Amino acid sequence: MSTSTFEITGLDGGRVGLTSARIEQLGTRLDGPVLMAGDEGWDEAVLLWNAMVTARPSLVVQPLSARDVATAVRFAADHGLLLSVKGGGHNIAGTALADGGLTLDMSRMKEVIVDPAARLARAGPGCLLKDVDGATQRYGLATVLGFVSETGVAGLTLGGGFGYLTRRFGWAADNLEEVEIVTADGATRTASRVENPDLFWAVRGGGGNFGVVTRFTFRLHEVGPVITGGLAAWSIDRADEVLAAYRELTESAPRELTAVAIVRLAPPAPFVPEAWHLKPVVGLLVCHSGANAEADLAPLRGLGEPIFNLIGEKPYAAQQSMLDAMEPKGLNQYWKAEFLPGLPGEYLPVFRDAALEVCSPLSFSVVFHLAGALNEAADDGGAVGNREARFISGFSGVWPPGTDGEGTVAAVRKGWESIRPFSTGGNYVNFQLAEDDDARTADAYRGTYERLRRIKAAYDPDNVFRVNRNIRPGR
């Protein structure tokens, strides 16, 4: 029987030769499959949300258990292979795929177990937001997740994670009670406030730098199943009025209300009057998960009749998926964003002007209200940091593959530069691009970065987990 040798990217960027026999031997030690290009399931395993990412691994392992993960991690470490972890594949920087290396595709580990009495949910690392929301909403419960249902729970949470419930309950990472994690030595550990607390502190915001989380345990809260939410939009010539109303609304909003300002071209959707298709509009996206929605949203009525108004009672799960159409897989995505300490009067016209330059059929610009529970750090609040952030604002350039995106990228960068003087100085690690350098990553962890480097050195001294927004081992 002939034996072939395959070249796989190593940790140092060089090439490592592995025989087909060695790869087959790995397969015999796993319950899940090992895939190579051309195998059934390969295309889906390497599909990412952002089409700008062209990296492709040489091998994909699809674990079925923590034991499988530990076996694959030891194999990668023993052979010095470049290793990555794919949860939902939604990260804009494309950190899910190890170019030429070994990728763990966690998509087969999607179990969600809800304990409604204890108000806990245990979720596998391959879960998407819709998997967790679908399971917890059966009991009128939810945890803090994002706002696009196709996003992977793992990457979102490990980078901090924010969404419609952040103002009430903090970052997604704040709502973690425990993780099961495979570290670089191949050991499977439990990390919580009482067991391996340093590791637990680090994973709550430190991304995938410290191991492969194989189970998340989330704290749940009473939310829904029906909330008041949706989107309304007005002509762009009313932008100053609408943005001023947005600022006033956010200054007095209870934590049950989250509001987002959006500037974009109106999509050619059935709910948009045809005369407004692809015309610039300013919109307000809201989610009210409390009991006094009508009174709390009263200031919006002063804006008069919108072009369209989709705000009303709906299932919380429907609110969680209503932006999915704006975030489909397979488009080029280029984002830039900053955390803001507030919305001073001079910020709004700067944002408006920049957003109008970013406008294209698929692009959009946002201001997302965050202030509330995340500003109240617990004693062991985790590495996520940025507790002074009250808003996040930025510009999303989106265009189809095969078309010229140079102008879109330039407009996004120009808009980002124009709002940086209003920033807290921090940024959201999950919104970083592949082009962003180590200094940008350090800015995302102001006040926690050196502690993260020390914990990295303790659990991953060889930087096995480096295909991410990398935190290098320190002293």
Quote the pTM value: 0.95
**So what's the pLDDT on residue 274?**
95
**62, 79, 108 — which closes off a domain?**
108
Chain centre to alpha carbon of residue 32: 26
Task: Give the pLDDT band (50/70/90) at residue 301.
Answer: confident
The alpha carbon dihedral of 152, 225, 271, 395 has a sign of negative
The enclosing domain of 249 has a CATH number of: 3.40.462.20
**So what's the pLDDT on residue 304?**
86
Query: For the residues of 245-262, what is the DSSP string, one character each?
Result: HHHHHHHH--TTEEEEEE
Under 8 Å CB-to-CB from 107, ≥6 apart: which residues? 44, 45, 62, 86, 126
In-domain check, residue 471: no
**C-alpha to C-alpha distance for 108 and 385, rounded to whole angstroms:** 31
Q: Under the phi-then-psi rule, with left for phi > 0, alpha for psi from -120 to 50, and beta for the rest, what region is 161?
A: left
**So what's the pLDDT on residue 1?**
42
Under 8 Å CB-to-CB from 8, ≥6 apart: which residues? 15, 16, 17, 18, 58, 59, 79, 81, 82, 100, 101, 102
Task: Give the pLDDT band (50/70/90) at residue 378.
Answer: low
Residues 55 and 93 in one domain: yes
Residues 159 and 21 in one domain: no
In-domain check, residue 437: no
Report the number of distinct structural domains present in the chain: 3
**69, 91, 108 — which closes off a domain?**
108
Which whole number is the average pLDDT over 371-391?
86
In-domain check, residue 156: yes
**So what's the pLDDT on residue 454?**
97
Kindly state the tokens that stand for 60: 């994909």
In-domain check, residue 260: yes
Which whole number is the average pLDDT over 455-472?
96
Residues 45 and 166 in one domain: no
pLDDT in tens, 113-124: 999 999 999 999
Question: E strand or H helix at 418, and its extent?
Answer: helix 406-419
Residues 360 and 274 in one domain: yes
In-domain check, residue 464: no
Asked whether the predicted pLDDT for residue 381 surpasses 90, the reply is no
pLDDT in tens, 128-176: 999 999 999 999 999 999 999 999 999 999 999 999 999 999 999 999 9
Residues 421 and 275 in one domain: yes
Nearest Cα residue to 427 out of 351, 327, 336: 336
**So what's the pLDDT on residue 2?**
54
Which whole number is the average pLDDT over 50-66?
96
Instruction: Decide: 241 and 197 in contact? Cβ < 8 Å.
Output: no
**C-alpha to C-alpha distance for 370 and 345, rounded to whole angstroms:** 18
Percent share of the chain, pLDDT over 90: 91
Compute how many other C-beta atoms are within 10 angstroms of the C-beta atom of residue 223.
Answer: 24
In-domain check, residue 82: yes
pLDDT in tens, 332-368: 999 999 999 999 999 999 999 999 999 999 999 999 9
The enclosing domain of 101 has a CATH number of: 3.30.43.10
**Residues spanned by the domain of 188:** 112-222+447-459
Residues 131 and 254 in one domain: no
Residues 250 and 342 in one domain: yes
Question: E strand or H helix at 83, and its extent?
Answer: strand 83-86
| Phi, psi (degrees; rounded to nearest 5) at 21 | -65, -40
Residues 98 and 123 in one domain: no
Alpha helices in 9-56 (DSSP H): 20-28, 42-45
| CA-atom Rg of the chain in angstroms | 22
In-domain check, residue 117: yes
**86, 108, 130 — which closes off a domain?**
108
Which whole number is the average pLDDT over 414-428?
96
Which whole number is the average pLDDT over 51-67?
97
Residues 233 and 90 in one domain: no
Asked whether the predicted pLDDT for residue 475 surpasses 80, the reply is no
**So what's the pLDDT on residue 379?**
57
**So what's the pLDDT on residue 318?**
95
In-domain check, residue 442: no
Residues 265 and 390 in one domain: yes
pLDDT in tens, 184-210: 999 999 999 999 999 999 999 999 999
Residues 53 and 140 in one domain: no
Under 8 Å CB-to-CB from 471, ≥6 apart: which residues? 206, 207, 209, 441, 445, 449, 452, 453, 456
The enclosing domain of 453 has a CATH number of: 3.30.465.10
Residues 95 and 127 in one domain: no
Nearest Cα residue to 369 out of 391, 351, 387: 391
